[in-house]
Copies of this chain bind each other. A is one copy, B any other.
């Protein structure tokens, strides 16, 4: 994470646990009794699996506890109550790596959002299995690393990428039309911290030929899906989706063009939700507090 110069940082607490009475009161009480003003509170109880999810944001300006004391107190509370929690402050920005291949649209969109400070984090490195998009990263002043991959090179490539991600202290990996399949080990390491954009309204049209399949099936809308990457191809928890209307007039090329607009919009939105800490994972689904 990268510190920022923000004056009145807020604390953002995410909690998940087995649902039971008193959770909201307990956590809101913790904040209030220490002098914090709650700016946002969102909760959700999943009837399907009995889980409880909470996002609590408070202004820390008059808060009685400093950050380490807050962490210690929450740790105690969590042990006592069986909570899984994570806390981040708005002046700590997550560091993002963007992995790309040759298509630039999603990369531009993430960079532009970052530039006007609307991404909720900071793009710190771009990695690609091609050299094509180096000028794009350069234009935005972001380091670019060409790490060839594919076939026998994959293991070496992933090792190199792992070093780069460590070097740049990356918190979130974004696959912005990165056209290589990653190894199970690599995926596991970034579970719940790696977001991919798929060029269809999943679960329709799994795999690489989604636009071709959409054309062949004759659908009247196409979609894009941003999801966390798991080792089940295109099956990870969905963060965001959107669609656009198409017709018999649209060739596969037209679908590709219309899809590009969707892909970047959906991906940037999903990345922002993650970085603003609005997303909790519930089994193979997500809770997104928008």
A89 close to B (CB within 8 Å): no
Which B residues are in CB contact (< 8 Å) with A240?
Answer: 220
Q: Are B25 and A286 in contact, CB atoms less than 8 angstroms apart?
A: no
- What is the 8 Å Cβ interface bit string for chain A, positions 250-290, against chain B (1 contact, 0 not)? 01000001000100010000000000000000101111101
In the bound complex, what is the Cα–Cα distance between A220 and B227 (angstroms)?
Answer: 11
A155 close to B (CB within 8 Å): no
A156 close to B (CB within 8 Å): no
> Residue A238 contacts which of B31, B139, B218 (CB distance < 8 angstroms)?
B218
> Residue A41 contacts which of B41, B201, B241, B257 (CB distance < 8 angstroms)?
B41
A108 close to B (CB within 8 Å): yes
Stretch of A75-83, A187-195, A202-210 on the interface side:
A202-210
Closest to A281 in B: B218
- The interface size bin for chain A is 35 or more
Q: Are B204 and A217 in contact, CB atoms less than 8 angstroms apart?
A: no
In the bound complex, what is the Cα–Cα distance between A110 and B43 (angstroms)?
Answer: 30
In the complex with contacts A24-B28, A112-B105, A248-B282 CB distance below 8 A: yes
Q: How far is the CB of A59 from chain B (nearest CB, A)?
A: 8
- What is the 8 Å Cβ interface bit string for chain A, positions 207-226, against chain B (1 contact, 0 not)? 00000000111111101000
Closest to A286 in B: B218
> Residue A40 contacts which of B38, B43, B46 (CB distance < 8 angstroms)?
B43
- What is the 8 Å Cβ interface bit string for chain A, positions 107-129, against chain B (1 contact, 0 not)? 01000100100100000000000
A150 close to B (CB within 8 Å): no
A5 close to B (CB within 8 Å): no
Query: Can you list the 3 inter-chain pairs with the closest CB atoms, starting with the nearest?
Result: A218-B285, A25-B32, A21-B37
10 more contacts with CB within 8 A, not counting A21-B36, A135-B139, are A21-B32, A24-B32, A25-B31, A42-B42, A46-B248, A47-B251, A201-B204, A201-B219, A203-B219, A221-B243
List 13 A-B residue pairs with CB atoms under 8 Å apart, sorted by A's residue number.
Answer: A23-B38, A25-B38, A47-B251, A108-B112, A118-B257, A202-B219, A203-B217, A217-B284, A218-B238, A218-B285, A219-B241, A220-B239, A221-B242
